Structure 1
Amino acid sequence: MSEVLEQQRQDNTGAYEEFDVLIIGAGISGIGSAYHLKTQCPGKSFVVLEAQSQFGGTWRTHKYPGVRSDSDLYTFGYRFKPWVGPPIATAQEIRKYLDDVIHENGLDRAIRYSTKIRRCSWSSSDNRWTVETTGADGEPGKTYRCNFLWMCQGYYDHDNPYLPQWPGIENFQGELIHAQKWHDKVDYKGKQVVVIGSGATAATVIPAMADDAAHVTMLQRSPTYFFCYPNRSDLVDRLRLIGVDEDTIHRCARLDYLHNLQALDHRSREEPDVVFEELKALVRLYAGDDFEFAPHFTPKYRPWQQRLAFVPDGDMFVKMKEGKVSAVTDRIDHFTADGIHLESGADLKADLVVAATGFNLLVMGGIEFVVDGKAVDWSSTATYRGMMFAGVPNLVWVFGYFRAAWTLRVDLLGDFVCRLLQHMQETGVDKVEIALPRDGVNEPLKPWIEDDNFNPGYLVRDMDKLPKRLGDRPEWRHTQDYWREAEEIPAIDLEGPEFAYT
């Protein structure tokens, strides 16, 4: 911790504590941002506010069987901290990695746990945010003031997952649980299990339960693409064998995965049918040469239009080959006492139903925001590159990538925010606000992301709640294109017309 931060903590004895920067959230985004702030702006005082009792975010709230990353840890991990485990990691391994980052860099002293933010108010009279909090018990907590807010709390509601209200749920005599609400008392041993959904969560929980359950059925409305591959990196294994150091291995592996991801994204647009045949060939390595893809594994959209569900070592398809897992493509008509009646007229018997039906978006953590006495309506606010917002000063929101590792943007925006803070200090200004271009004031505000570019259900369902892009200008939207942003964000002109300083 910087000496400045330590001094702030000792000297603040009034009604509030004041810091240069408040980082909101101690998940993978908040921890990475805190590292960048401490190392790149060592003179800035800061604190990290976390609603939970421990760090980790998603990797602490998600507890369903087999919970693991769906991105490789060479790109999902930080660029500054080598990853030395298998590419796809368990939640426990990711928490251990984050714990190492926290303690190796003295960030533990900067994190305030069990601190939930209720309201953030900006005052232009003194260029400060006032942040009101509550404790774990719901009672009023400390009040903080800062010049800059760094929002790293994620994008979905950790407490309230998306659970459709299917007809007849009240008649079901078995157990129904959403994967996000999993707890240790859920018993699936020897039981007939139905998992509703076929995304990354389903692809994780299904093989983890398969050996102990009587049988697991994946019930989906429509098919999903799956990417099967050994949970190892041949490049990493080779570099390690010849004695290359871990820092260099991490950089090389990171570049290798990024190159392969970019090629897959490009080819999925240019030759989707060829990519699908390649994905099929990878599945057959684990499911067998006679595996039938129709009707349960033939999606109606092209590869990468929704996120590919990564299946390390093809484990879900191995369990299918063993007869422990099956797939059903149909819609739920209603629940019955002993299972689910489908629109086709078929019935699925179930002792346990696991809903892997996704998230509910929660913009800015559901926190109330006020700027100079006026409430902020994020759904009508224009976004600059998906990180800053017209009419909301001194705030950056870390919103990562869906089709590449989330953390790639944590590192990119970490550099940007630190450069911005340094620029403001050097030029003697306290406030930066995003200004709409003069020739774009009358342009329509459009959805955050184009539906034909990326359209998972959880995003399309709540798209209207997100900030808006300005027309078709690339700098006024969240492009979801890491390779483009990796060049553009470091090159942003901080004296450009979109930045208004006072």
Structure 2
Amino acid sequence: MDKNVDILIVGAGISGIGIAAHVLRNCPGRQFEIIERREAHGGTWDLFKYPGIRSDSDMSTFGYNFKPWQKTSVLASGNAIKGYIGEVIDEYKLKEKIHFGHQVVSANFDSSIKKWIVELIDRDQKKQTWQANFIVGCTGYYNHDQGFQPEFAQQDQFKGQIVHPQHWPENLDYSDKKVVIIGSGATAITLVPAMVKTGAGHVTMLQRSPTYIASIPSIDLVYDKMRKILPEKVAYQLTRARNIGVQRGIYAIAQKQPKLVRKLLLKAVEMQLQGKVDMKHFTPNYNPWDQRLCVVPDGDLFKALREGKASVATDTIDHFTETGVQLKSGQHLDADIVVYATGLEIQIMGGIKASVDGKAINTSKHMLYNGIMVSDIPNMAMIIGYINASWTLKVDIAADYICRLLNHMDQHNYDVVVAKGDEREMLEDTVMGSLSAGYIQRAVNVMPKQGKHAPWKITNNYLADKKDLKKAGFDDPTLQFTRAESQPKSQSKIKLVS
């Protein structure tokens, strides 16, 4: 055995580093190690290098609850977020805990020894075998090796360059070139103004259907004023509370009064476009928050469109040509570069082959207890953030819950915990909710499922989750605890179901 680990955190992105900091703060008696397949921390914020890469959540809520984001920028660049995560690593001396260039290949829970046997490959391509008591998956929900890239007819005839934002070529030269970006989500609406600003000749966003897009200020002027008259901590807490309330309020109103929210969103876009662009390109055929709402800072996307440096085409691709993209409407889009901003390839636990006593785990056949613990799997937690609020809000409250659980196990000398699932509770919807976005629909055969009732039902309501998880006890009969040399607390054997 190469290494014996108490808690194995898989991933050194915003989830993994957040969990590690919380464990250090709240479980001083627990030892942990962090596995990171890349050669740097940051996860998403290290992988994506495309122009303009930024958060699409405000930084007062995207930052950790224990480390205020003390800048007035509402959104932040990828480099700034990676730097912020790096500050946490330095402050909590986590670098020595991170094993860069190490990839977990498989993990099998061995019931005879009540531990995970983890197979890894290190940066020298040598195999290692680790033993771990508890695993926390912090790998997000997409495949880092490849994005979702649909095949289009005759795309091999195209003489230009095809690029996916997930693997942006270093020093890609798009100066004065015609660029077509396929997609209309957060990546596409970020790329369009960023490439315009940095020298592209003309950028066209090609979309099958429109997306709801809201313009927000790039600088939080209210926070800027508050921090001049109030203590920094107070100003930050007030700003964070306000933004959490606004996020939740907009989502709740959109669910109750979709027509009103639709009208307000479309009116705001119309004012931004100033009659220079047809509103058909920004009028979705679904209700707000049936798909995630996209945001742009200071209306930069609309500015690029108004000035004629960018355009939008709402159509479907018939086929590629040597010089661009032929649309089914008959229009041809000339292109030197085509960017596939077509989304993510969904993957859970970083593609790790997980099993219990040699029996493979199919994550789509499981639920998440309190949105954290994988049903019927011993000593395993998984971090999946919110679809309608900042990802990190879930990281913080999930970490607090995990720490309380670990402390409870220490106090009672428990080695194993299993959240016993009930197949009658399982729904077809995944933990990502009922959003109609393509990447959500592609997740059906991978993502854990929703349950009908608490604690298996995922509400995507941060305020409710924060309250419920804070008061959640561990005397729930759903949770079965085991000591090393004894039967479960309930005196009945644990039945492990995959």
TM-score, normalised to structure 2, is 0.93
Give the partner amino acid of 1:223: P
The amino acid across from 1:343 in the alignment is K
Distance in 2, Cα, partners of 1:236 & 1:285: 26
Instruction: Please state how far the C-alpha of 1:167 moved relative to its aligned partner.
Output: 0.7
Please point out which of 398, 405, 430 is paired with 1:448.
Answer: 430
* Counterpart check, 1:469 vs 2:469: no
- Displacement of 1:291: 4.7
Equivalent pair of 2:12/2:138 in contact (CA under 8 Å)? yes
Question: Of the candidates 250, 264, 269, which is equivalent to residue 250 of structure 2?
Answer: 264
Shift in Å, 1:252? 1.2
Report the Cα distance in structure 2 between the residues aligned to 1:498 and 1:238, rounded to whole angstroms.
49
Is the Cα–Cα contact under 8 Å of residues 70 and 309 in structure 1 kept in the other structure? yes
One of 90, 97, 101 as aligned partner of 2:88: 101
In structure 2, relative to structure 1, the CA distance for the partners of 1:110 and 1:450 (3 Å cut) is: closer
1:411-450 aligned within 5 A: 411-436=396-421, 440-443=422-425, 445-449=427-431
C-alpha displacement at 1:274, in angstroms?
2.2
* 1:273 pairs with 2:259: yes
1:229–1:282 contact (8 Å) kept in structure 2: no
Of 86, 92, 100, the residue aligned with 1:113 is 100
1:114: how far off?
A: 0.4
Task: Give the number of equivalent residue pairs.
Answer: 480
- The residue number in structure 1 matching 2:137 is 151
Letter in structure 1 aligned against 2:283: T
User: Partner residue of 1:252?
Assistant: 238
Change in 2 beyond 3 A, CA 1:293/1:54: same
Q: CA deviation at 1:444?
A: 5.0
- d(CA) in 2 for partners of 1:444, 1:396: 18
Query: Which residue in 2 is equivalent to 1:404?
Result: 389
Match in the other structure for 1:315: 300
> What residue is the counterpart of 2:314 in the other structure?
329
> By how many angstroms is 1:494 displaced?
0.9
Aligned residue among 212, 219, 231 for 2:218: 231
Residue-by-residue CA offset, 1:67-94 (whole Å, 9 max, x unaligned): 1111111111101111122010001111
1:297 is the counterpart of 2:282: yes
Segment of structure 1 superposing worse, 173-182 or 278-287: 278-287
For the Cα contact (< 8 Å) 2:270–2:279, is it kept in 1?
A: no
CA distance in 1, matches of 2:34, 2:228: 40
Q: Superposition pairs for residues 298-377 of structure 1, below 5 Å?
A: 298-377=283-362
Shift of 1:391: 2.1
| Structure 2 residue identity aligned to 1:334 | H
Is 1:23 paired with 2:4?
A: no
2:125 — aligned with what?
Answer: 138
Asked whether the equivalents of residues 448 and 477 of structure 1 are also in contact (C-alpha less than 8 Å), the reply is no
- The reply on whether 1:481 has 2:461 as its aligned counterpart is yes
Give the counterpart letter for 1:373 in structure 2.
G
Selected match of 2:165 from 162, 166, 179: 179
Q: How does 1:383-402 map to 2 (within 5 A)?
A: 383-402=368-387
Provide the residue aligned with 2:178 in structure 1: 192
Q: Distance in 2 between matches of 1:423 and 1:79?
A: 23
Identify the residue that residue 10 of structure 1 maps to in structure 2: none
Q: Residue in 2 aligned with 1:128? A: 115
Q: What is the distance in 2 between the residues matched to 1:248 and 1:151?
A: 33
CA distance in 2, matches of 1:174, 1:386: 45
Q: Is there any run of 5+ residues in structure 2 with no aligned partner, and where?
A: 483-498
In the TM superposition, residue 450 of structure 1 has moved relative to its aligned partner by 7.7
Deviation of 1:138 (Å): 3.1
Q: Provide the residue aligned with 2:490 in structure 1.
A: none
Q: What amino acid maps onto 2:440 in structure 1?
A: L
Deviations 1:427-454 (A, max 9, x none): 1110100113xxx554554231486x32
Distance apart, 1:271 and its partner CA:
2.0
User: What is the deviation of 1:374?
Assistant: 1.4
Distance (Å, rounded) in 1 between the aligned partners of 2:281 and 2:232 = 42
Contact 1:284–1:291 (Cα < 8 Å) also in 2: no
- The alignment yields a C-alpha RMSD, in angstroms, of 1.6
Contact 2:362 2:446 in 1 (8 A): no
Question: Percent same amino acid at aligned positions?
Answer: 39
Q: What letter is aligned with 2:78?
A: A
8 Å Cα contact 2:269/2:282 also seen in 1: no
How far did 1:468 drift?
2.1
Q: Is the 8 A contact 1:64 1:182 kept in 2?
A: yes
Residue segments in structure 1 that go unaligned for 5+ positions in a row: 1-14
> Secondary structure at the residue paired with 1:21?
strand
